[in-house]
Structure 1
Amino acid sequence: MAAAPGPTFRAGDLLRLSATASVQFLRPITVRVIRELEWDTYDGWVWLDAYELGSRGDAVARRELYVRREGVQLMNARQAACVG
């Protein structure tokens, strides 16, 4: 398999997922990456194993998410604290 275009996500990364990542996120969510899954996908897309974070930053659900790499917003801890 060829190297994936765009960012590679690692355990602990905080991501903001909106409609630019996938139409399933018309209501944006914040997630903490557990791992990037090595499943076959279309070019530019990736499967992520992640925890969806609630408004207080706590994990509310574990999810497997299919997203467009270039549409994902990488966040820092300060930005995540401001999301509610």
Structure 2
Amino acid sequence: MLPRSGDVLHVTRAASVQFLQPIMFRVIRVLDWPTFDGWLWLEGYELNTAGDAVKRRSIFVLGDGLRQLQAAPVPRQHTIRTPRRPVVRTPLRVS
């Protein structure tokens, strides 16, 4: 699994032996640091049981050991902008 920004993950011992106590983790980004095949560096927030961020962390985990609890919201479509109207300037009067 390759998480994306905004995903909430359940990180357990299946993802890394450092997680004897499972945590919920909201992904900020997947870091592009060099790793072994299948392993990821994630930056994000550890969440409490209410879903509030309590600690910012970078974690090194096995992608196959992650479980997604909540997917990131679908990005909104970009609005189409209309061309800007030209600015009409009035000449300055010099007295």
TM-score, length-scaled by structure 1: 0.81
The corresponding residue for 1:30 is 24
Unaligned 5+ runs, structure 1: 1-6, 78-84
Unaligned 5+ runs, structure 2: 72-95
The corresponding residue for 1:82 is none
Residue 62 (structure 1) aligned to one of 33, 56, 65? 56
CA distance in 2, matches of 1:75, 1:57: 11
CA distance in 2, matches of 1:12, 1:34: 6
CA distance in 2, matches of 1:73, 1:9: 10
CA distance in 1, matches of 2:67, 2:16: 12
CA distance in 1, matches of 2:39, 2:2: 11
C-alpha displacement of 1:8: 1.5
How many residues were matched structurally?
71
Is 1:72 the counterpart of 2:69 in the alignment? no
Identity %: 51
Q: How does 1:2-41 map to 2 (within 5 A)?
A: 7-41=1-35
CA distance in 1, matches of 2:70, 2:50: 15
Tell me which structure has the larger Cα radius of gyration: 2
C-alpha displacement of 1:76: 2.2
Larger fraction in helix: 1
